[in-house]
Amino acid sequence: MNLTKEQILERLAQSCKNTLMETLEIKYIDFGEDYLVAQMPVTPRVHQPDGVLHGGAMVALAESVGSAASFMFLDGEHMYVRGIEISANHVKSKRDGMVYAKATFIHKGRTTQLWNIDVVDEEDMLISKVKLTTIALPKK
């Protein structure tokens, strides 16, 4: 089945209904042969009490885009994808606007995958550097 880029992004959007991704307003906006990009608005909904983007919201964005990328680039129809380890270095704060997370493969194994995920702002300034390990398990 050959789908257009728009159809694939729409399928990803539909998979977010009634999930944390919908709550955080995460949207998948672009992909290529080895990457997936998502965006998330920076609003009070994802702030810490002092008005800056919460690190946990950035980690949720990163894990969402990395897991979705594993699903896309592996056999998502026959496999479950789960995050098994994540580490993040938050290097810059952000109060408003938009952040973008781009997941790219470091290692694409049949069972485990290792992702580099950069979270950047509208000016492509690094906000957070994330490493995610996912595992693909067969659906029974």
Q: Please give the helix or strand (H or E) that residue 129 lies within, else none.
A: strand 126-138
Pick the catalytic residue: 10, 22, 63, 123? Answer: 63
Q: Quickly tell me which residue has 């492509």 as its tokens.
A: 124
Let me know how many helices (H) and strands (E) the chain has, helices first.
Answer: 3, 6
Does residue 6 have an active-site annotation?
A: no
CB neighbour list of residue 87: distance below 8 Å, 6 or more residues apart: 130, 131
Interacting residues of 52 by C-beta distance below 8 A, sequence separation 6+: 93, 94, 95
Which residues are tagged catalytic?
A: 63
